[in-house]
Amino acid sequence: MLRRSMRTFLQKEIAPHADEWDRQGSFPHREVFKRFGELGFLGLNIPEEYGGAGGDFVSTIVYGEEMGAINCAGMSASVGMHATIVLPYLTQLGTEEQKQKYLVPGIRGEMIGCLGVTEPNAGSDVSSIRTYAVKDGDQYVINGSKIFITNGGIADFVILAAKTDREKGHAGISLFLVDTDTPGFSVSRELDKLGWRSGNTAELAFEDVRVPATVLFGEENMGFYQIMIHFQEERLYMAIGAVCEAQKALDLAIQYAKEREQFGRPIAKFQVTRHKIADMATEVEAARQLVYNTIRMHIEQEPCNVEVGMCKLYACEMANRVINQALQIFGGYGYMMEYPIQRLWRDSRIGPIGGGTSEIQREIIGRLLLQ
């Protein structure tokens, strides 16, 4: 039922705008977020007492599959950041006061959140962030900057990672809930990207931002561990989204191969095309089954750190390969902006980078297997 209702909504109200939003580099975020909230799609795995649907991680995966299938990745990334990363953080770590202030309106789409971890000099190496927070009486004073922040330019609040003990490395990181209208906070610039063009991505600055000690999010100096725990579900979400993007590209390539004629017959009749399609379909299904099995392990609380790394690594790189091959089947038309395959090609390239690069996933997998 969830899949059916989401698909109907997305195909009717979102997909028709994908080209326009991609060209203009934005979407009407307030309107769209509120519409998602009205339909209950922002709190699928949030307890009912806060206005959520009370579902489990399967709901999030169904949500990710349907969002990944509409070829509107910028909007999907923006709403997905809020619904599948920010709100679950609030559910698991927030105080009751914080949940009432941010989670409840967030589920309704009345507030938009973002996660501020990555910095100009700290990407994969989270422990090397330089943003810091100094305790001053009953306040913290925050200074630093963040980059590549999804929703950074449109958010009402930031879940911010900052060093509260600069001598302890990763063991000195804490999380804070910072309102974006707090004096000293600013959006340095909104970033122009290859893909995800309709979604907002920004660089943020914090200059003597004073916040009350009550905005500490979770335990002091436990931020790094909290981030790492949440990376697991984020990576599975990204992996299933990559599978659905690849499936969309495969479907488009099959349709085009049946219609496009060269040398007096559809290119689907040529063995070289059929073999490409066969390889693409096999890769998509292999990735899907790997991800589905790991989701099962995660839900049943089986150890699956290795498998999560494999999902993120294989599914995102697979999507790049399959979508690139699909564009090749389209030939010169695939290179034209009027054909949707080019947007899939651009949008999928972030997969092996965001949420932990392929290089990091290989390191995690190798280290865990050899320990």
Residues involved in catalysis: 234
Report in angstroms the alpha-carbon separations of 46 from 85, 231, 234, 243, 251: 12, 18, 16, 25, 33
Pairing outcome for strands 201-212 and 216-217: unpaired
* Contact by Cβ (8 Å): 307, 366: no
| Tokens representing residue 43 in the block | 């709190």
Within a 10 A sphere around the Cβ of 361, how many other Cβ atoms? 22
| Tokens representing residue 341 in the block | 């395959």
- C-alpha to C-alpha distance for 68 and 73, rounded to whole angstroms: 7
| Tokens representing residue 51 in the block | 């206005």
* Contact by Cβ (8 Å): 78, 29: yes
| Tokens representing residue 151 in the block | 């929703």
- For 270, residues 6+ apart whose C-beta sits below 8 A from its C-beta are none
Residue 227 per-residue DSSP state: H
Residue 46 per-residue DSSP state: S
| Tokens representing residue 44 in the block | 């699928």
In one letter, which amino acid is 329?
I
